[in-house]
Amino acid sequence: MAENKQIPPQYNLDAKWDACLDIAVRRVVYSSMSGALGGLLFFRSPMTRWASVALGAGVGIGSAYTECSYKFGGPPPKFTPPKISESLASEDKQD
């Protein structure tokens, strides 16, 4: 009989790639469309309209990349500044 092998979600790379591809396509398309709409509303020159589409696509790619990096590597560690009492205590030990 075959055993029911379940892959934990944090190790299932196929699901992560599928989710990242879905996020990337959606964000690039939606942000490009919003850039095109903004270009049509605010700019007259075709060059600036294409530039607004490119800016929107770049924003979509960047946000998709950030989201996918969180999915694959987890969120970056948070920086917690040292407490004042700890930093003063370390200065006293050095003197």
The pLDDT profile of the chain, 95 residues, written as one tens digit per residue, is: 456 677 676 667 788 889 899 999 999 999 999 999 999 999 999 999 999 999 999 999 999 998 888 888 876 667 777 676 655 556 556 65
Burial class (CB within 10 angstroms; exposed 0-12, middle 13-18, buried 19+) of 61: middle
Segments making up each domain of the chain, as ranges: 13-75
The answer to whether the beta carbons of residues 53 and 32 sit under 8 Å apart is yes
DSSP string over 32-67: HHHHHHHHHHH--SHHHHHHHHHHHHHHHHHHHHHH
Q: Name the one residue in this structure whose structure tokens are 């607004």.
A: 52
Q: Return d(Cα 46, Cα 32) in angstroms, integer.
A: 15
pTM for this prediction: 0.65
